[in-house]
Amino acid sequence: MAIIGMNIYALRAYDEKGKKATLNRITDNKSIIDVIKEFLMEKSGEITDDNIKEELYKVVDWEEVVQKDENDNEYQTYLYGRIKSGKYGVETDIVNKKGDLKYKQTPEEAGLKPFDFLVGLSKDDCDETIIVLQTVSGYGIKGLLERELNKYVSSTYNYSKILFSAIYPKYYLKKYIEKGIIKNIRLLRNRIPKDEADKYGVNQGKKNTKFEIKISSGDGFKRGIIDKIHDCIEGKLSYDRVVEMPYCDIDDVKIDIKVGGKDKIISLKNIDRVVVSEDITDKVQCIGGNPTKDTVIRVLLENEIDYLIEMGNIVRIDNIKSSILTSINNRNE
């Protein structure tokens, strides 16, 4: 079964002088939503071939929605898009579950998978917003979408650069640690020494061999560990000293946190480049292994709103979330 996930990034744009652009009027009095919508409209229904990356893609769906609160005041616009993409260049055997060869995909062919994304922009001026990208078993379109958007704005407006960046400064990470429950601490190594490989019966020469120790606690962890994680976020303690283990070559330490019923995964190694990743498999309905539009929009939008509120882009409005869910339910009916 495919794992449906989402990655959440901060979206920023820069002008020709390297200065952050106001996203509500990025160029020619157009917002970042307008620019991305233009890109989607241009690419809708046609196959685009990136020869360098040997990747095909096409836009198959998009939708722009203006949202208002219970007093009919506009507070944000969001843009949803679905892009199908796939790589070519390698001959591939397509087999069934029994291993029987059903088809041989040639180097000129590519299997296109759909990926959803959502960008929200508050009514008030801001120079940073949120983009949420849906993934399938760890694969997504972050690199493709960022690259192709930059090609478009460079050729159309002859300036600016759009970046999908790590979203949360340390302040937000500390809030997560305090507000949530740490369920797991995972220590990872990207290799296994020969003596340990022999001990565990692992074949030698496998570059994708990994070693993981997972420490789990249904009731969370004690204050001492939480203090160490805080020190790591502050740069006072190395990530590989958060948990005292008989290994000196830990490549990463990840913590799984449950906050408000949502699971978040945070790497402590590169704390300034944290990308928020969440498993949403149980929150969406799938057809053919891919999430349906209505269920995935609901999940992406709820998270986008949460993050914009945390960032201060949207001032918390009474019943704002219930209004969002009501509008989505009404549309589905």
Write out the DSSP string of 201-230: TPPTT-TT--EEEEEE-TT---HHHHHHHH
**One-letter identity of residue 172:** Y
Determine the pLDDT at residue 208.
59
Distance CA 235, CA 170 (A): 10
Arithmetic mean of pLDDT, 133-158? 92
Note the pLDDT of residue 328.
59
Give the pLDDT confidence score for residue 265 in this predicted structure.
Answer: 82
Give per-residue pLDDT as tens, 190-234. 776 666 666 666 665 555 567 788 899 878 888 888 899 888 888
Asked if pLDDT for residue 169 goes beyond 60, the answer is no
Output 247 or 128, whichever has higher pLDDT: 128
Q: What is the mean pLDDT of residues 244-256?
A: 80
> What pLDDT is attached to residue 65?
95
pLDDT recorded at residue 317? 58
Amino acid at 18: G
- Please report the pLDDT score of residue 40 as a whole number: 97
Q: pLDDT over 70 for what percent of the chain?
A: 86
Q: Could you tell me which residue, 306 or 13, shows the higher pLDDT?
A: 13
Two tokens, residue 180: 């949530």
Phi, psi for 63 (deg, rounded to 5):
-155, 135
> What confidence tier does 333 reach under pLDDT thresholds 50, 70, 90?
low
Beta bridge partners of 274: none
Is 54's pLDDT higher than 80? yes
With a CB cutoff of 8 Å and minimum separation 6, the contacts of 218 are 183
Please tell me the distance from the alpha carbon of residue 130 to that of residue 122, in angstroms, as a whole number. 10
Place of tokens 């340990």: 196
> What is the average per-residue pLDDT within 258-265?
79
Which of 44-48, 102-106, 295-299 holds the top average pLDDT? 295-299
Average pLDDT over residues 104-122: 93
State yes or no: pLDDT of 308 exceeds 90: no
For the CA atoms of 63, 69, 75, 76, the dihedral, rounded to the nearest 10 degrees, stands at: -20
Token pair, residue 116, equals: 């959803």
Range of 213-217, 266-270, 287-291 with top mean pLDDT: 287-291
Mean pLDDT of all residues belonging to the chain: 85
Averaged pLDDT for residues 86-108: 89
The candidate with the shortest Cα–Cα distance to 229, out of 210, 249, 212, 215, is 215
How many other β-carbons are positioned within 10 Å of the β-carbon of residue 171?
9
Radius of gyration in angstroms for the set of CA atoms belonging to the chain, rounded to a whole number: 22
pLDDT of the residue at 166: 76
pLDDT band of 322, cuts 50, 70, 90: low
Q: Are 114 and 83 in contact (CB under 8 A)?
A: yes
Q: What is the pLDDT of residue 207?
A: 54
Rounded to an integer, the average pLDDT of 66-93 is 91
How far is CA 161 from each of CA 28, 107, 144, 274, rounded to the nearest angstrom?
15, 33, 15, 21
Task: Give the model's pLDDT for residue 117.
Answer: 98
**Cβ contacts of 197 within 8 Å, gap of 6 or more:** 203, 204, 209
Query: What mean pLDDT comes out for the span 55-82?
Result: 93
Give the angle 59-24-74 at the CA atoms, nearest 5°. Answer: 90
